């Protein structure tokens, strides 16, 4: 079955991966032009040029984290399927909580990509059965606590914390004052039950697809 998308943005920093995905998308979404981006900046420029109906989004983009694009993509109404080599449950949970409509590990077969596209096109979310079962049974303090209660701006700040940005850098990136940044960080600590900035950094690294700290 062909998925009904009219415009697609493919964000991945490996040209050979994009080449293979473009071929698969041509088979399953033959009417949809596919634009490509290899970096966060290229992706932002592509979105500014025209909001895609669907975005296929990698997480590890060189020095950048693809999840930082989710607030922007959600704002323009793009549905997002995250395609990543990462299969940690915390990463899957963080992507879905931040607004992704589906998650697929890159070792999936082409038929599973087709299934994901169909589910998302019909207004549903998609997670592979193996991951969905693990997510359903994941309980207690090991799960992401409170992420689904965060506002879009708070999610943006959390993702920037994971990138190691300071208050001034966040202020410039988000176009808000340093005091407003600090207010958002304080709200994050309260909502997530964290005592200080170091704990917030550890939480952000553990749940935003990046390596944790000790």
The pLDDT assigned to 136 comes to 58
Kindly state whether residues 12 and 116 are assigned to the same domain: yes
Whether residue 55 lies inside any domain: the answer is yes
Alpha carbon separation from 28 to 23, 24, 53, 121 (Å, rounded): 9, 6, 15, 12
Kindly state whether residues 16 and 112 are assigned to the same domain: yes
The pLDDT assigned to 110 comes to 87
Kindly state whether residues 105 and 203 are assigned to the same domain: no
Whether residue 29 lies inside any domain: the answer is yes
The range of the structural domain enclosing residue 170 comes to 145-207
The pLDDT assigned to 152 comes to 75
Whether residue 1 lies inside any domain: the answer is no
Whether residue 116 lies inside any domain: the answer is yes
Of 79, 105, 137, the position where a domain reaches its end is: 137
Number of domains in the chain: 2
Alpha carbon separation from 43 to 30, 55, 76, 99, 138 (Å, rounded): 22, 10, 13, 17, 33
The pLDDT assigned to 149 comes to 67
Residues of the chain falling short of pLDDT 50: 1, 137-144, 209-214
3-class state of residue 22 by DSSP:
helix
Whether residue 122 lies inside any domain: the answer is yes
Of 137, 172, 189, the position where a domain reaches its end is: 137
Alpha carbons 144 and 56: distance in angstroms, whole number: 23
Kindly state whether residues 101 and 197 are assigned to the same domain: no
Whether residue 3 lies inside any domain: the answer is no
Alpha carbons 145 and 148: distance in angstroms, whole number: 8
Kindly state whether residues 36 and 118 are assigned to the same domain: yes
Whether residue 2 lies inside any domain: the answer is no
Task: Return the CATH number at 160.
Answer: 1.10.10.10
Kindly state whether residues 89 and 168 are assigned to the same domain: no
The pLDDT assigned to 80 comes to 96
Whether residue 212 lies inside any domain: the answer is no
């Amino acid at each position: 079955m062909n998925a009904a998308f009219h415009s697609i943005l493919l964000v991945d920093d490996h040209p050979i991966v994009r080449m293979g995905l473009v071929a698969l998308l041509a088979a399953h979404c033959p009417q949809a032009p596919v634009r490509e981006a290899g970096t966060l900046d290229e992706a932002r420029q592509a979105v500014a040029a025209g909001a895609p109906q669907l975005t296929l989004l990698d997480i590890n983009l060189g020095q950048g984290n693809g999840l930082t694009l989710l607030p922007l993509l959600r704002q323009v109404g793009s549905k997002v399927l995250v395609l990543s080599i990462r299969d940690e449950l915390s990463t899957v949970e963080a992507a879905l909580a931040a607004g992704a409509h589906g998650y697929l590990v890159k070792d999936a077969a082409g038929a599973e990509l087709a299934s994901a596209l169909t589910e998302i096109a019909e207004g549903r979310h998609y997670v592979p059965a193996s991951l969905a079962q693990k997510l359903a049974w994941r309980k207690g303090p090991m799960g992401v606590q409170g992420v689904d209660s965060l506002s879009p701006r708070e999610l943006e700040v959390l993702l920037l914390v994971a990138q190691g940005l300071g208050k001034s850098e966040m202020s410039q990136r988000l176009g808000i004052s340093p005091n407003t940044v600090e207010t958002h960080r304080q709200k994050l600590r309260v909502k997530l039950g964290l005592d200080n900035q170091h704990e917030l950094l550890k939480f952000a690294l553990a749940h935003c697809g990046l390596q944790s700290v000790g």
